[in-house]
Amino acid sequence: SSLVSIGVGAFYGCSSLVSIDLPATLTSIGDGAFGSCSALSSITFSATLTSIGNRAFECCSSLVYIDLPATLTTIGGNAFARCSSLARVILPAGLTSIGHNAFDSCSALTSIHLPAALTSIGNGAFSGCTSLAYVAFPASLTSIDSAFWNCSSLARVTFPAGLTSIGSLAFALCSSLSRVTVPDTATIGDEAFESETTVLRLPPATMRWYEAVDGALAYKRFALEHKAGLLGWLERAQIRLGSYGPDGAARKRDREEFEGDFGHGAAAGSCVRDC
């Protein structure tokens, strides 16, 4: 196929459409292209896709998971709004812009990691995501508008030290957000947080120090949680390769165990059976 774009409203309201496998040549999805496809539960995006239009997948209420391609740079306004079953979204590292209300009322979404290249988050981008509990903002982001209001489960956010402004109503009605740390160089708009939210102001340099410590602790947690996985394998490999030399710890341990098991019997004249 040589298809490079899907036009406005091309499959809008196709209520029996369950899955789509987009062609490898596709670079853009037009406005409303798959809007209100209420049975759509699976999408395979092309590896060349760069933009998703406004309302492209709005009200696709059966969509649970999306893994957006590395080439994607722009998500349009209301692109995935009211996808009420959408629980997991993987945003690509090169994404620069998320449009207004892009994920509005995605009530099953629990966390979101915003990519390092992101420079713009539209108003209401994640508003009404009532299950959203955690958001990690990239270090490059300098401003946040009213993107997260009415995220009633949001309990933790990590702001970058370089943040310069938080807009009015940015985190309004986020009733679970008890405490936030904001650089003292950033401006905070009217009613950006609920009155019950404690706002701690720190110098950017101090916040960067905390970020470094938090990163080290996160790595430690990861290592502990993955002992049985790759890190555990590497640890075991290191023991095997590094400690079985002539004076290695593992060889010494094995020798001591052998002597403990058989030394006393041999000294007493016990018969040692041939293999």
Pairing of strands 198-202, 42-44: unpaired
Structural domain of 241: 230-261
Q: How many CB atoms lie within 10 A of CB 243?
A: 15
* Number of domains observed in the structure of the chain: 2
CA distance 230 to 69: 26
Among residues 54, 75, 97, the one where a domain terminates is 97
Rounded to two decimals, the pTM is 0.75
Among residues 73, 97, 121, the one where a domain terminates is 97
Say if 88 falls within a structural domain: yes
* Ordered per-residue pLDDT tens for the chain, 275 residues: 689 999 999 999 999 999 999 999 999 999 999 999 999 999 999 999 999 999 999 999 999 999 999 999 999 999 999 999 999 999 999 999 999 999 999 999 999 999 999 988 999 999 999 999 999 899 888 999 999 999 999 998 989 999 999 999 999 999 999 999 999 999 999 999 999 999 999 999 888 876 666 656 555 555 565 554 555 545 544 544 444 444 555 445 444 443 443 343 333 333 334 43
Say if 271 falls within a structural domain: no
Burial (CB < 10 A; 0-12, 13-18, 19+), residue 71, is: middle
| Residue 59's CATH number | 3.80.10.10
